[in-house]
Homo-oligomer: A and B are copies of this chain.
Amino acid sequence: MVLKVAVVGASGYTGVELLRLLYSHPLVEVTFVTSRQYVGTPIAEVFPSLGGCFSLVCKPIDPEMIAAVADVAFVALPHKNAMQVVPELLDKGMKVIDLSADYRLHDQMVYEQWYQKHTSPGLLEEAVYGLPELFRKDISSARLVANPGCYPTSAALALAPLIVNGLIDLNSIIIDSKSGASGAGRGAKTESLYCEVNEGFKAYGIAAHRHTPEIEQTLSGLAGQDVKISFTPHLLPLNRGILTTAYASLDRKLLTAELRDIFLHYYADEKFVRICAVDVTPNIQQVRGSNFCDIGVVADQRTGRVIVVSVIDNLVKGAAGQAVQNLNLMAGFSESTGLDTVAIYP
C-alpha cells in the first residue's frame, strides 16, 4: 500500500522537483497539488515536463480537503506563507515536511530578527531540523520536519566533521557559497531574467543573508558553543547546484590525507555523502539531479587553514530530495527509496 502525499505550492521550482522525485518513488502516491496562481489548471500544463505522468489539477489550499486525501504534506511555500498553513495541516492530523524557513530556527527571537513576526511560535520546539545526516533519529519520530535551507545543508555537511572533532578555530570560519539561479525561485523579477544572470556573476546579501543564523544554529549545536560565521552567497549562471567553499584555521597541523580520513570516517555510513579522493574537489555537475553531497577537503600547509568544498543540487539535497529523504525516515521506508539514482551528466 502506498503512502498518500500532497504537495502544497506545486508551481515553483521546488514543487515541480518534488513531483519529479515522487513520481519515481515506489511507495508514494501524490494525490493533491495546490497552486494559488494556477487554480484549475492541470499541473502538467503548468509544467509540460510532467505531461503523461501527472493528471492532477491545481487546487487552492484547503487543509480539510488535503487531509482527506493525503497523510503527509510537503509545504513548498515561501516563508511567512508556510506558517499560515502548517499549523492547520497538523491539526487535521497530517505529518508535515515544511520546505520554508519558518520552522528551522529554534529561537523565536532569532527568527523574528532575520525574518518577521512568527505566527505559530509554539511549534518551534516541536519542529525537527531535517538534516538526516545529523538528526536522523529525531526526524524518524517527528510530526513536523523543517527541511533545511540549501546553503545551510551544503555548509553544515562541509564543516560538521571538523567541528565535531574539534579541529578548527571556531572564530575563523568563512563560508563562500555559490548557487545556481533556480535558488531564486520562479517569480518574475527583472534581476532573475536570463540576460541579467547569463554571463554574469555577483555576490548578494553580504553579511546579511537569512541563511546565516540557520548555519550558525547547526554549527553551534555541533560545537556546543556559540559559533559566528561570515557567509557570502553568490549567484551562478547555471540552473542547479550549490558549491560551498569553506575556510577555517586548523588548531593543529594536519595533512590533506588525514583530514580526508576524518571525513571518510565521519560519513562512513552515509549513502548520500561522498568524499572525494585526495587532492580532488567536486564539481557541481557531478551531483546534478541527484541527492548526493560530494565533499573534498584540502589542508593549506602554508597558512594552516583547511579548505572544504562541498556540492549539492540545490533543488534535490538542498530541497526536494532531502524532503523525500525525510519522508522516508518519517514513514519508516528505507532512507534512499526513490532517491537511489545517478546524477545526470552532462
Contact = CB atoms under 8 A, between A and B. Distances in A.
Given A284-B200, A346-B13, A190 B186 contact: yes
Interface string A192-219: 1111111111111011000000000000
A23 B16 CA distance: 23
A80 interface: no
B286 A48 contact: yes
A236 B239 contact: no
Contacts of A190: 186, 188
A344 to B, nearest CB: 5
A318 interface: no
Contacts of A118: none
A307 B230 contact: yes
Contacts of A98: none
A17 to B, nearest CB: 8
Contacts of A71: none
Contacts of A203: 243, 245, 281, 307, 309
A247 B292 CA distance: 29
Contacts of A342: 19-20, 23-24, 49-50, 53
Nearest to A207: B300
A277 B240 CA distance: 29
Interface residues of A, number: 84
B346 A178 contact: no
Interface in A124-144: none
15 contacts: A16-B345, A47-B286, A49-B285, A49-B288, A51-B274, A51-B286, A176-B176, A176-B247, A186-B193, A188-B190, A194-B237, A198-B237, A201-B311, A228-B303, A230-B303
Interface of A: 13, 16, 19-20, 23-24, 45, 47-53, 174, 176, 178, 181-182, 186, 188-190, 192-204, 206-207, 228-230, 232, 234, 236-241, 243, 245, 247, 271, 274, 276-277, 281-290, 292, 294, 298-303, 305, 307, 309, 311, 341-346
